[in-house]
Structure 1
């Protein structure tokens, strides 16, 4: 299923190289702080059509392989391929089982044969892709007729509390930017796939303080990767101002961090 006879892919865009390096470094710490990823991925698994029984599935943006192993348990007789742009994640995942193959690849140009899978499962990965239309085109190419693309992503409004707090401190880019929910609707409608489900659900986590949130983002490899982000260390005074600004959001359960999660199930 992994077409290794294809010519080598071009080197990824520098921004993608940065994403790949960041997640590779986070491989060892990722699962210890990935509650959001597990909760969202489990919710996506529950949305898979019950009649679907793939012979071959792809876990796209497979990370540490947590959902490759879940897919193997759900479809024990199918062949699984884990694809990730971060080679360090694949090295971490390979000995843990789940997928039969572990392939370094870009969601915008998959190194997989056309019409080779009945399911592409990708959770909280495609938000890092600048060309989501290309992701949909590649999914349509790789899926067999009757196949399903199931994805989750993050959209505008994610971590608005952290973003708003930084806006009170300075004008620099401190929080990753994500495309609008309307863009997902438009791009899915324009693709050759049929939309079976597409909705946005907020997912709120709570922390005792801002430092726990920012530590978790760094451990996930999901800290600020945007152009325009400040370089060097953040000054002590600015950190103190951030902590003070974020306190306006504190509730009975602590400081909230809201993730706007897009759930999509598309069919070919």
Structure 2
């Protein structure tokens, strides 16, 4: 699997986070549960799922949930990060664990009935290509269900950094409009597409940045600062973020998109 420099950086970041990810992934588990049980499960009653793919499977939480819901189906877990796959494989859930890129799936056309992907596709640079690849590997009537992060995620951290310098410190994500346009322009039928903000609160900035590091979700954008951040700049960041404190703590907003797309049956 040949990866671009940016994707190698993303894969390495998540590989380093594999052992610590589940300890701090409360939001990620909650989003996966909502996508699977609230958004997707009611639509599966009329589907015959023989094979599913957990795309961007991470530590395998979604794979194990899918196995519990669809125990008779063959499951595949695919991730860019070798470290995540090595961590997940002993925990089960999927029958096959595959290293691969969502933009270039190493799978045959028409090989599965369901693609499930929770909080992974925001790391893909070419989202229309992701949709095209998902469409290719799904059988007619197959479903792509995904959650992703949109622009506005961690806007409090971003605005606080802007008071310190003009460098890129926070991951950039696609806008809701970009997701809507890409889905509408694809060959899929859009069954569900909804944005839901999630707001978490932290006792201090250190708890937030520690969580982001343990998730492997700290800054992976081009243009990010290299090397250590000086004490004066960190103090300025803390002071700026403290200006947003509420009675519940320091807020951090996550803009979560839930979507279900269907590959139409041939007419």
Which position in structure 1 is the counterpart of 2:8?
Answer: 17
**Matched-pair contact (CA < 8 Å) for 1:53–1:75:** no
- Structure 2: how far apart are the matches of 1:249 and 1:38? 27
- Structure 2: how far apart are the matches of 1:33 and 1:167? 27
Which position in structure 2 is the counterpart of 1:198?
Answer: 193
Which position in structure 1 is the counterpart of 2:133?
Answer: 138
Runs (5+) with no aligned partner, structure 2: none
Q: Could you give the per-residue CA deviations for residues 201-228 of structure 1, whole angstroms, max 9, x where no partner exists?
A: 1011110001000000000000001111
TM-score by length of 1: 0.95
Matched, 1:47 2:39: yes
Which position in structure 1 is the counterpart of 2:178?
Answer: 183
Which position in structure 1 is the counterpart of 2:116?
Answer: 121
Which position in structure 2 is the counterpart of 1:229?
Answer: 224
Which position in structure 2 is the counterpart of 1:163?
Answer: 158
**Matched-pair contact (CA < 8 Å) for 1:25–1:221:** yes
Aligned length: 259
Question: Paired residue for 1:210, among 196, 202, 205?
Answer: 205
TM-score by length of 2: 0.96
- Structure 1: how far apart are the matches of 2:27 and 2:9? 22
- Structure 2: how far apart are the matches of 1:212 and 1:242? 14
Which position in structure 2 is the counterpart of 1:4?
Answer: none
Question: Paired residue for 1:111, among 82, 89, 106?
Answer: 106
Deviation of 1:252 (Å): 1.5
Question: Paired residue for 2:83, among 76, 82, 88?
Answer: 88
Equivalence map 1:249-264=2 (5 Å) = 249-264=244-259
Classify the secondary structure of the residue corresponding to 1:175.
coil
Classify the secondary structure of the residue corresponding to 2:243.
helix
- Structure 2: how far apart are the matches of 1:82 and 1:72? 11
Q: Could you give the per-residue CA deviations for residues 135-192 of structure 1, whole angstroms, max 9, x where no partner exists?
A: 0001100111111000011111010000000000111110000111100000000000
Runs (5+) with no aligned partner, structure 1: 1-8
